Amino acid sequence: MSDARRVNDARDVSDAPIDLSVIIPCFNEEGSLRACVEETRAALATLGLRHEILPVDDGSSDGTWALCERLAAESVDVRPRRHVRNRGMGAGVRTGLRAARGAFVIVVPGDNQFALDLGAMIEAGRDADVVVGERGTAYATVGRSLPSWLYSTGMRALFGLRLRGEVNLYRREFLLAHAIEHRADGFFGNTELLIRAVRAGARAVRIPVRVRPRVAGRSTGRDLGQIWRVVKETAKLRARLTFEALR
């Protein structure tokens, strides 16, 4: 049973179709979440899309959940979820996907480091099942580029994945039709979702996304504990896919 708590579900009772669900997994992002939500809402308003914004607080120890509640009180399009304990980014993405109602879903990290052109991504998605947002080289350093290269090389070798997307848009109908759901709770969950979609025959297109410096909070993606968790989750997925192919 999920431990996710919900806000605003009862307030939005319209049966009108939703074009886009924006899932924002976040952990201790009190300093950046409001900007992320407000920039997303402003972009969607210019596009005239019916949308919902789903922040998923992954057991934060700062004021992230209180901020989620304030954002929900300010606007009915914000429908936050909360994990009572920290479970990992992949778990946050899964909780958001299960709550999503849009024709398309996009996963946007709550650190607000990605300056997205949502209009371009939606347009690219009209003829695709997955739009893969690939980061450019801005702010690239050896400390960032080397781990990224190693990760991409490993994904190609183990899964044949030649896409490296951190902000991906999915056609929700495709995910539902193929019963696609990732199992990894950590950072690797986002990659597992993409791997499973591609293996199911998803039509994928790439689109560049711009990355900007983090202005608040602290990145945990390169912590040794996180790296070891990714290694373990990668090995588990490789074993599961091998087993599934033999059945």
Cα(181)–Cα(107) distance, integer angstroms = 14
Residue 1: what pLDDT? 37
* pLDDT greater than 90 at residue 109: no
User: 144-181, pLDDT tens digit by residue?
Assistant: 555 666 766 777 776 767 666 678 999 999 999 999 99
Q: Residue 113's pLDDT band (boundaries 50, 70, 90)?
A: confident
Highest mean pLDDT among 44-58, 156-170, 201-215: 44-58
Cα(24)–Cα(20) distance, integer angstroms = 13
Its pTM stands at 0.83
* pLDDT greater than 70 at residue 46: yes
Distance in angstroms between the alpha carbons of the first and the last residue of the chain? 28
* pLDDT greater than 80 at residue 224: no
User: 116-136, pLDDT tens digit by residue?
Assistant: 889 999 999 999 999 998 876
Q: At what angle do helices 33-47 and 118-125 cross, to 10 degrees?
A: 60
Cα(200)–Cα(27) distance, integer angstroms = 30
Query: By the 8 A CB rule, do 27 and 112 touch?
Result: no
* pLDDT greater than 80 at residue 14: no
